[in-house]
Structure 1
């Protein structure tokens, strides 16, 4: 299995779903339309491509691009061929919602809850979408890049110590 083969298979099956693709460090990464991500992942799992393991779901925040401010990243693994793929979807912050993958992969449950907890991204169809790591009354999503990394009152640390 090669990156070119997988890209061609996905592009042939979903010609309008793939927004962009790149291969960095020999790792195929596809940006998929938000409304198509569930059917693409379903196809990857149930087709001859056999991506049968969901390694990770995580969020990302790009505050400088409002139309693609929040994103969800999916890592899938074909265990038979030891092949991995990364899929990304992006959305504006005011409509931060994407389909849940819990019907396809039971392990998506806690990963989606963590992403909701830290980024505020909602997963449509999730069986129990609620906070799991932060306090319920926290009132914000701590991984968003609108909060300082360090306490401003600290005098023993400054940003240059952290490469900024």
Structure 2
């Protein structure tokens, strides 16, 4: 088992211009990278025998809205079942170029995580096999986990198109309720 700092060092040695920062907080190490060579870095982490990150634990988005130069990050939590070590990779995604390469061809389990990140933050995953909403209705406008998404709105202006239809169906279904 390698320590996370050692793994971060290997990534930095192999991709010195792509690694922007390495941080540690409460024993967890994060490697912040530029998004351009994400796929290459992830394939390296997956296919290198001494690393062999065969399990994508989680993938999520973060919106820094005005706190960083690049507004978004996509965060990958990787684990090696064989070696029992882990690392966190953070790829920066600018608001004006809000896309990043999909890793579904490396870890099939990334499929739904990438769809959720797209649905909630609007980050597009290049090469994703089926990039569409997963939590919100297809005709939903906006991305609910963005910091600029309104917390409260005038429903007349921002009402979901399917809202009235859904209420009508729910009312009709009350007839069939078991009491």
TM, length-normalised to structure 2: 0.80
Aligned to 1:157: none
Q: CA deviation at 1:65?
A: 3.7
SS in 2 for 1:35: helix
Does residue 63 (structure 1) correspond to residue 65 (structure 2)? The answer is: yes
Aligned length: 152
Task: Give the one of 74, 80, 90 matched to 1:88.
Answer: 90
User: Gaps (5+ residues) in structure 1?
Assistant: 154-164
State the distance in 1 between where 2:140 and 2:153 align.
20
Question: After TM superposition, which residue ranges in structure 1, 4 or more long, deviate above 2 angstroms?
Answer: none
State the distance in 2 between where 1:20 and 1:81 align.
24
Aligned to 1:156: none
SS in 1 for 2:69: helix
State the distance in 2 between where 1:40 and 1:60 align.
20
State the distance in 1 between where 2:57 and 2:121 align.
19
User: Gaps (5+ residues) in structure 2?
Assistant: 155-179
Does residue 111 (structure 1) correspond to residue 113 (structure 2)? The answer is: yes
For residues 11-160 of structure 1, what are the structure 2 equivalents within 5 Å?
A: 11-47=12-48, 48-65=50-67, 67-149=69-151, 151=152
Contact 1:114-1:133 within 8 A present in 2 as well: yes
TM, length-normalised to structure 1: 0.87
Alignment root-mean-square deviation, CA: 1.6
Q: CA deviation at 1:148?
A: 4.3
State the distance in 2 between where 1:62 and 1:148 align.
16
Q: CA deviation at 1:81?
A: 2.8
Aligned to 1:161: none
Summarize the Cα distance change of 1:141–1:152 in structure 2 as closer, same or farther, 3 Å threshold: closer
